Amino acid sequence: MTLVERFLKYVSFDTQSDESTGVTPSTAKQMAFAEYLKTELEALGLEEITLDEHAYLFATLPANTDKEVPTVGFIAHLDTSPDMSGAGVSPRVVEKYDGSDITLCADENIVLSPKQFPELLEHKGEDLIVTNGKTLLGADDKAGIAEIVSAMAYLKAHPEIKHGKIRVGFNPDEEIGEGAHRFDVEKFGCAWAYTMDGGEVGELEFENFNAAAAKITFKGRNVHPGYAKNKMLNSMFIANRFINMLPAAERPEHTSGYEGFFHLTGIQGDVERTTLSYIVRDHDRARFNVRRGELFRLKNQLNFEYGEGTVTLELRDQYYNMREQIEPVMHIIDIASSAMEAVGVKPNVKPIRGGTDGAQLSFKGLPCPNIFAGGLNFHGRYEFVPIQSMEKAMKVVVKIAELIAK
């Protein structure tokens, strides 16, 4: 089975995760995909294959050298984003893309255009896998899985390439921030690992946001509107005040690079009770703590104005910047950079404006930077992946294994 055949097979599995279920995996369909992958790894002749009740699938490609070589891991996630359906994915290949608009769905006039997505023009002449405009594609992260499995198959077929012991790991629920929670780092048994979960060719990431999630609840007082003067307290208006007390310039739509933000992700409310959901992000730990503190300050200010208990705040940290854990072992970044250069890819070291399983795994004792998988426009109908980008990612995996053995 080729890399492309693998990828097209994998995206036929609907593996959308669901943060509301409270179980791991959050959806049974992720386990169905893991069970299929287990049979494929067995057929390839990998060893020490385990699939636990939470859909964590581990396997080993044994070393083929007598040298003392550190064990390295490659990791990707099974699930696709809850943001859009992953059921009934119907991909097609646009061969030798010519730079023009790509009609995904003529009936609904859904078009993938370089006018909205100029990154398309970076891939003129390449073969693009696109959606039919009705679902996401699933390159995040089934491209990563296909690249890892294909690299293991390539190394099995080319024993002249010497390598140490390699571990592969496929986990559920990355898209809802739970992928690393039940990941057994000790059982995985690696000196370090790489997640194959980045985007554009060349991406190499060892910095990510510090992240927190906040739920702010506003308590109102409902009175018949005809007799409400000096009595009614509308929780929605208090919530609106809170929103506007945060700096407008520090929203996601106004930030880039290392700039952090407050992101309002949800509102539910009526006169009596309104709830805001926020995510808070910053690369710098000190600025992150200032942002966390600002939420408490605004809560206290509104409680002073409207009465104690009017506003309550639940805040939980989600993950931290993996840079703290990677800096002491920067040779693992050097190896990945050298591997990219060896296969004709220019490394693009950049911060992740988001999170990755690798961040949590790094803090669990498994240093785990992130490498490109090649897909673009994740989490929606305009997602696409160039076949040539996946091929380059697969070659990077092979070359990393080779370089470590040298």
194-214 confidence digits (pLDDT tens)? 999 999 999 999 999 999 999
Tell me the percentage of the chain whose pLDDT exceeds 90: 95
Give the Cα separation of 346 and 273 in Å (integer). Answer: 52
Q: What does the alpha-carbon distance between residue 319 and residue 78 come to, in Å, rounded to a whole number? A: 20
Q: How far apart are CA 380 and CA 335, in angstroms?
A: 33
- Could you tell me the pLDDT band of residue 357, with boundaries at 50, 70 and 90? confident
- pLDDT band at residue 294 using 50, 70 and 90 as cut-offs: very high
Question: Taking residues 237-258, what's their average pLDDT?
Answer: 96
* The pLDDT value given to residue 383: 97
Residue 52 · residue 174 · CB < 8 Å: no
pLDDT of amino acid 177? 84
pLDDT category of residue 397 using cuts at 50, 70 and 90: very high
Calculate mean pLDDT across residues 245-250. Answer: 97
What is the token pair recorded at 258?
A: 């290392």
CA 120, CA 219: separation in Å to the nearest integer? 48
Confidence tier at 352 by pLDDT (50, 70, 90): confident
- Residue 355: pLDDT over 80: no
Of the CATH numbers 3.30.70.360, 3.40.640.10, 3.40.50.300, 3.40.50.2000, which one belongs to the domain with range 210-319? Answer: 3.30.70.360
pLDDT at 195: 96
* pLDDT (0 to 100) of residue 295: 98
Share of the chain above pLDDT 70, in %: 100
Task: Look at strands 192-198 and 311-319 and give their pairing.
Answer: unpaired
CA-nearest of 386, 374, 371, 385 to 340 is 371
For the chain, give the secondary structure using H, E and C: CCHHHHHHHHCCCCCECCCCCCCCCCCHHHHHHHHHHHHHHHHHCCEEEEECCCCCEEEEECCCCCCCCCCEEEEEECCECCCCCCCCCCCEEECCCCCCCEEEECCCCEEECCCCCHHHHHHCCCCEEECCCCCCCCHHHHHHHHHHHHHHHHHHHCCCCCCCCEEEEEECCHHHCCCCCCCCHHHHCCCEEEEEEECCCCEEECCECEEEEEEEEEECECCCHHHCCCCCECHHHHHHHHHHHCCHHHCHHHCCCCCCEEEEEEEEECCCEEEEEEEEEECCHHHHHHHHHHHHHHHHHHHHHHCCCCEEEEEEEEECCCHHHHHHHCHHHHHHHHHHHHCCCCCEECCECCCCHHHHHHHCCCCCCEEECCCECCCCCCCEEEHHHHHHHHHHHHHHHHHHHC
Give the HSE-up count for residue 129: Cα atoms under 13 Å, Cβ half-sphere: 28
State pLDDT tens for residues 64-104.
999 999 999 999 999 999 999 999 999 999 999 999 999 99
pLDDT digits (tens, 9 = 90+) for 146-157: 999 999 999 999
Residue 30: pLDDT band by 50, 70, 90 thresholds? very high
The full set of domain ranges for the chain reads: 3-207+321-405, 210-319
* pLDDT category of residue 356 using cuts at 50, 70 and 90: confident
Task: Compute the distance between CA of residue 107 and CA of residue 54 in angstroms, rounded to an integer.
Answer: 40
- Superfamily designation of domain 3-207+321-405: Zn peptidases (3.40.630.10)
The residues that are catalytic are: 79, 174
Q: How far from each other are the two terminal CA atoms of the chain, in whole angstroms? A: 29
Average pLDDT over residues 383-389: 98
- Among 45-49, 142-146, 163-167, 176-180, the range scoring the smallest mean pLDDT is 176-180
Instruction: Enter the tokens of residue 217.
Output: 């609840």
Compute the mean pLDDT over every residue in the chain, rounded to the nearest whole number: 96
Residue 318 has pLDDT above 90, yes or no: no
CB 171 within 8 A of CB 224: no
Mean pLDDT of 154-181: 95
Smallest CA-to-CA distance from 129 within 4, 9, 2 is with 4
Q: What's the confidence (pLDDT) of residue 353? A: 87
94 φ/ψ angles, rounded to the nearest 5 degrees = -95, 105
